[in-house]
Structure 1
Amino acid sequence: MTWTSQTFGGEARTDAAIRTALPTASRSENLRLTLLYFLPNYLKGVFRARPRVGRLVARLDPGRHGAETMRRLRRRHGRGPVVVRGTSGPTLLVLDAEDARQVLSGPVEVYAVDTWEKVSGFAAVQPEALVASHGRQRTARRAFNDAVLDAGLPVHRLAGHFLRVVGEESRALLGPEAEAGLTAGQIRERVERVGRRCFLGEAAADDEEFSRLLGELLAEANWMGARRWRAARTRRLRRRMMQRQARYLCDADPRSLTGLFRTAPRGPETAPEGQVAHWFMALGVVHAAVVQTLSLLATHPRHHARAVREVREADRRHGAHTVAGFEAMDYVRACVQDAVRLWPPVPSLMRRTTAETRWRTAVAPGGVNVLVPAAFHARDEERIDYAHRFAPQKWLDGTAGEDWAVSPFSRGEARCSGTELGILLATGFVAEFLRGGELAVAGVRLDPGRPLPHGFDATRLRIGYRPCPAPEER
Structure 2
Amino acid sequence: MTRADQERRISTATASVPDTLRVAAMVAAPTIAVGIIKRRPHMMALAQTIQADRAGIRLLRRLRAKYGDGPLRLRVPGRSVTLPLAAEDVGELLAGAPHPFSPATREKKAALGHFQPNGVLISEPPERAERRRFNETVLEPGQPLHELAAPWAAIIRDEAASLRGAELDWTGFDQAWWRVVRRVVLGGDNAADREVTDLLDRLRLDANWAYARPPRRRLRERFLNTVRRQVGWARPDSLAAKLAKVPGDGALDPAGQVPHWLFAFDAAGIVTFRALALLATHPVEAERACSGLGSLDLAVPHQLPYLRACVLESVRLWPTTPALLRESRVDTEWGPDGTTEFVYTPFFHRDSERLPYADRFEPEIWLDGRAQENPALVPFSAGPAICPGRDLVLFTASTMLANLLRDNRYELRGTSMTPGRLPATVNNFGLRFESIAEPLSAQRTG
Same fold judged by TM-score > 0.5? yes
Q: Distance in 2 between matches of 1:394 and 1:22?
A: 31
* 1:333 equivalent in structure 2: 308
- Check conservation: 2:11, 2:70, Cα contact below 8 A: no
Aligned residue pairs total: 434
Distance 1:158 1:307, change over 3 A: same
Q: Equivalent residue for 1:190?
A: 176
Deviation at 1:452, TM superposition (A): 1.0
TM-score (norm. length: structure 2): 0.92
Distance 1:248 1:87 in 2: 45
Structure-to-structure mapping, 1:288-303, within 5 angstroms: 288-303=270-285
**How far apart are residue 87 of structure 1 and its match?**
10
Percent sequence identity over matched residues?
A: 34
- Offset from partner CA, 1:389-438 (integer Å, 9 cap, x none): 00001111121133221001001101001000001110011111111111
Give the 3-state SS of the residue equivalent to 1:84 in structure 2: strand
Q: Is the 8 A contact 2:80 2:338 kept in 1?
A: no
Alignment of 1:249-288 (within 5 A): 249-288=231-270
Q: Is the Cα–Cα contact under 8 Å of residues 124 and 217 in structure 1 kept in the other structure?
A: yes
Name the TM-score, length of structure 1 as normaliser.
0.87
Give runs of aligned pairs for residues 16-35 of structure 1, distance below 5 A. 22-35=12-25
**Superposed CA offset, 1:225-249 (max 9, x none):** 3123xx4xx2222222223223322
> Counterpart in 1 of 2:126?
136
Local SS of the residue matching 1:196: helix
Q: Flag structure 1 segments of 5+ consecutive residues without an equivalent.
A: 1-19
Counterpart of 1:157 in structure 2: which amino acid? E
Distance 2:127 2:12 in 1: 33
Helix, strand or coil for the counterpart of 1:357? Answer: coil
Alignment of 1:166 with 2:156, yes or no, is yes
Q: Distance in 1 between matches of 2:270 and 2:244?
A: 31
Instruction: Note if contact 1:203-1:248 (Cα within 8 Å) is conserved in structure 2.
Output: no
Does structure 1 residue 444 correspond to structure 2 residue 415?
yes
Give yes or no for contact 2:168–2:432 (8 Å, CA) kept in 1.
Answer: yes
After TM superposition, give the deviation of residue 223 of structure 1 in Å. Answer: 0.7
Is 1:48 paired with 2:48?
no
Counterpart of 2:4 in structure 1 is none
Shift of residue 190, structure 1, vs aligned partner: 1.5
| RMSD over aligned Cα atoms | 2.1
What's the CA shift string for 1:341-360, capped at 9, x where partnerless? 1101001110001123236x
* Superposed displacement of residue 380, structure 1: 1.3
| Secondary structure class of the residue paired with 1:459 | helix
Cα distance in 2, alignment partners of residues 402 and 101 from structure 1: 11
Evaluate the alpha carbon distance shift between residue 277 and residue 204 of structure 1 in structure 2; reply closer, same or farther with a 3 A threshold. Answer: farther
1:256 deviates by 0.5
Q: Is the alpha carbon distance of 1:86 and 1:373 closer, same or farther for their aligned partners in structure 2, counting shifts above 3 Å?
A: farther
Residue in structure 2 matched with residue 4 of structure 1 by the alignment: none
Q: Is the 8 A contact 2:406 2:440 kept in 1?
A: no
Correspondence for 1:353 among 312, 317, 328: 328
Aligned 1:104-183 pairs, distance under 5 A = 104-174=94-164, 176=165, 179=166, 181-183=167-169
| Deviation digits for residues 100-156 of structure 1 (CA, Å, limit 9, x no counterpart) | 110111231211001111100122111111111121111011011000101222211
2:207 corresponds in structure 1 to 221
2:298 is matched with 320
Question: Alignment partner of 2:30: what SS?
Answer: helix
Q: Pick which of 85-94 and 149-158 moved more.
A: 85-94
CA contact (8 A) 1:310 1:331 kept: no
Do the aligned partners of residues 153 and 376 (structure 1) sit closer, same or farther apart at CA in structure 2, a change above 3 Å counting? same
4+ long deviations beyond 4 Å: 85-88, 203-206, 469-472
